[in-house]
A and B are shown apart, each in its own frame.
Chain A
């Protein structure tokens, strides 16, 4: 009996007949037989459309086998020129632009921008108490929803699909609140210079209270799923290591900095919006790794829910916008038959009662208010670290220059320090622990 030369499955004859060897394993034999001493350096381009790069982040990896020797990030794929566009809109319109930067933390973008504008206007002390409480409440709810996405996408990237389902399911609860309060689930443009766009609707407080109770229970489920999970720990413990020195040199803030043991939180060190009146802890870990950051995010969500509870207790009836009619947005909204519309009382007021009110409305909506010349930078603690808007005014009705110091942009610089020398799979875990949002990185 003759044998044929098959490159994939050889065969040989025995007394019992021909034995076909199907386990030879394709053509790997010839490939691995590369000459000795050959350079095995491979350059892999990961992203910008790779599902595990957290959006449109591009990474260029240099590999020795499976070990990463060099990482370089490429960003800019989501650059939309928001800062430039804002220079051609009024100060109030700017809110609708900044809210689209870090799209997972829109309330924080709005707050950072509005706080800087308010400092320029010199009305920081005049923001009504109720507006500040609502701002804090919205920001803390937003922190929960943002951390949930960090957990969900981070889990998905490491193969924990249940965490992804849980995270997005819980985030939906928070988005429902945003929809009820501001009318929009994301990009709410809710926080405005001088206060917030609209008071809480009827029934919002009860809904928030109920949601907080539900979230506490569900967060515990998510935490139970992952905290002591051997696979999760195997993927995150000791991965993405960056110590305090590295954080300082690279300007890293947020959970990454706190995972080194330094309890730096701007809500404590430079309180804004009345954060000094709330009781909460700043969770830290000392492991400096992805697992520590994960634990910090879990703990921070609990703290945020406690702050929301305190906000609900502090809510007293009152105005939600500064009293200064030269700044306060005149129009009020109410739900009409078609689900949207202006408040009939306001229309009646400007159209048939007060000519001055009509003039104010017209001037503020078309021209906007002027902001005295100068510059301001009010940093706040976003879910990802220090977020601040450097706002420059030349006294006009439009921002002269707005620059957002986005924590994701700065923190992405740490990818190389975190993942060079590690396995290629750990790059994913390291990036997930930074939790970059490319909308904020590229702006």
Chain B
């Protein structure tokens, strides 16, 4: 959201810009004799921006209840923005308020999100100071609702509060997120690697971690490793 402010292209209908990266060129051609001119294309990667109430359906009810219960708990400024996109509701929550937020989600009878079904990470290396996103998925069986919580942190400060004390099911999911992204969940009972070997170096799902692979000779030709092949964008 920072280094891309001077970019000229903003798609129509976007009220608030959430730029997570920049796309350059076309057809994956670079450095070759590109005579088409498309190689000079620069376009921001824009994620769906904040929605403005009323959201419609049960989204308004959930947003209001969360605002009320957070106010009751004297938590202010917890929600950065609410995104309603493709029929799914995402709360962008400040990480300092995450525990209070999920506690209210679980305990407030009007919300009652009984289950945290999933925790995972997304790495946006060009989203400066918000490189690492952690995505939580909460489900309410009582109300048959589902929300997503997205929390961001800078790559230079890889700490995130652990929600295991609120949702014990997040235990392995947070370990996996630590394993794959190197996000340290403070307060986790045993934050160790789960999928990779204990002595592994690096966090494989980060974008700066190479895929690896070797070129393969096949019928006289050489097929490069998957991450070295032409990438269309």
A-to-B contact residues, CB < 8 Å: 75-76, 79, 81, 83-85, 87-89, 119-120, 122, 248-253, 262, 264, 269-270, 366-368, 373-377, 379, 386, 388, 390, 392, 394-398, 400-401, 403, 405, 409-410, 412-413, 442-443
Contact = CB atoms under 8 A, between A and B. Distances in A.
Contacts of A373: 45-48
8 contacts: A88-B227, A250-B169, A270-B146, A366-B232, A367-B232, A374-B48, A396-B23, A401-B123
A113 to B, nearest CB: 15
Main secondary structure of the interface of B (DSSP, over half): mixed
A75 B86 contact: no
Q: Name which of A88, A248, A403 has the most chain B CB atoms within 10 A of its CB.
A: A403
Contact of A79 (B21, B88, B195): B195
B117 interface: yes
Contacts of B209: 84
A76 B120 CA distance: 16
A394 B144 CA distance: 29
B195 A374 contact: no
Given A79-B195, A379-B117, A390-B135, A395 B45 contact: yes
B25 interface: no
Interface in B64-97: 85-88, 90
Contact of A251 (B23, B47, B167): B167
Contacts of B193: 76
B205 A410 contact: no
Contacts, number: 128
Contacts of B131: none
Interface in B2-47: 20-21, 23, 27, 45-47
Contacts of A403: 118, 120-121, 135
Given A249-B167, A377-B118, A377-B137, 14 more contacts: A76-B194, A76-B195, A83-B205, A84-B209, A249-B168, A251-B116, A251-B169, A373-B45, A375-B90, A394-B23, A395-B23, A400-B122, A401-B205, A409-B172
Interface of B: 20-21, 23, 27, 45-48, 85-88, 90, 114-118, 120-123, 135, 137, 139, 141, 144, 146, 148, 167-173, 176, 193-197, 204-205, 209, 211, 226-227, 229, 231-233
Q: Name which of B45, B169, B205, B227 has the most chain A CB atoms within 10 A of its CB.
A: B169
Q: Name which of B86, B135, B197 has the most chain A CB atoms within 10 A of its CB.
A: B86
A395 B88 CA distance: 18
Contacts of A79: 195-196
A412 B115 CA distance: 16
A100 to B, nearest CB: 16
B120 to A, nearest CB: 4
Nearest to A411: B169
B47 A390 contact: no
B204 A410 contact: no
Contacts of A88: 211, 226-227, 229, 231
Contacts of A396: 23, 232-233
Contacts of B137: 377, 388, 390, 405
A412 B146 CA distance: 23
Nearest to B205: A84
B172 A410 contact: yes
Contacts of A248: 114-115
B122 A401 contact: yes
B116 to A, nearest CB: 6
Nearest to B126: A394
Given A85-B226, A251-B167, A270-B144, A374 B196 contact: no
Contacts of A75: 194-195
A252 B116 CA distance: 10
Contacts of B172: 409-410, 412-413
Nearest to A401: B122
Contacts of B170: 251
A385 to B, nearest CB: 9
A377 B114 CA distance: 18
Contact of B168 (A85, A120, A250): A250
A84 B204 contact: yes
A377 B90 CA distance: 11
